[in-house]
Amino acid sequence: MSILEKDLTVKKATREAFGDEIVKLGKENKDIYVIDVDIAKSCKTSNFIKQLPNQHINVGIAEQNAAGIAAGLATTGKIPFVSTYAVFGSLRMAEQIRQEICYPNLNVKIACSHGGLTPANDGGSHQAIEDMGVLRSFPNMTVIMGADYYSTRKLVEQASKIYGPVFLRFTRDTVPMIYSEIEEFTIGKAKQLKQGKDIAIIANGDTVRLALEAARDLEKEGISVKLLDMHTIKPLDRDAVVECLDLGNIITVEDHNILNGLGSAVCEVVAEEGRGRVTRIGVQDQFGQSAPYEKLLELNGITVENIVQTAKRMVRK
């Protein structure tokens, strides 16, 4: 079955994928620990607490302390996963992540739910739109966001097996199940969903489903789309971006500020190569507000319709 024929009605939040996978990993490897900050229910680590209580620490509402404890555990050979909301696991913990985790290059994983605009009705204070950009600027840090349930499970598993700091970003809201359980993923290697010859669309996280729907519509109008799921923002798959330059036009789509996220990372490669054009679709350098998730996407032009119209304009030029 073609990826364009994929049924996108079955949905599940990627935070659920983390909750399920971390229990599996914790049972397989007793060095894996989860550090919670009093929001285990929201971050889906409640089952880990029940099944593996000796590998769990709850520090209360104290993310900065959680980062320090994780760093200490890592120096003893443990593999700690700090579980919190993305806005806290990036901005509130930024100094501790830089100084205590990235600087000494410790094996700590920051696993964050409620990424991007998906906190929706929680309002702008809880919507992490800068997180991946902030943390991708730290040396030694790997930055990942899976597109759906199964890709997220595979990427969490891989993150547990590579050495070094990793930021994993999950959705609060449900997103379509794009991939099958047997699909394989490699950190730092983009997943090509579709080959095309007219324009490339590179998407990340919960926006991959929008890019997929846009590709469907564009194909119906005779525009051939190359579609990439760039699940790893850092290290970015430079080779995959360079291959897209052969088409001349690239659209990036992300649930993140267009500054310093996927769009910026792709533009850096394009500028260094000295060819090609990029249009960035994402949060338009503005804070969110309390509103339904789909409404927030619409306010920022992160929609199937905008992707389609942008592609048409770029191809005509």
Kindly list the catalytic residues: 63
CA atoms of 173 and 192, how far apart (whole Å): 24
Judge whether 187 and 158 are in contact, CB under 8 Å. Answer: yes
Contacts of 47 (CB under 8 A, 6+ apart): 19, 20, 23
Distances (CA, A) of 76 to 70, 93, 105, 123: 10, 21, 14, 39
Tokens 């769009």 appear where? Answer: 263
Half-sphere exposure of 303 (CA within 13 A, CB side): 12
> How many Cβ atoms sit within 10 Å of the Cβ of residue 186?
13
According to DSSP, the residues that pair with 228 across neighbouring strands are 192, 202
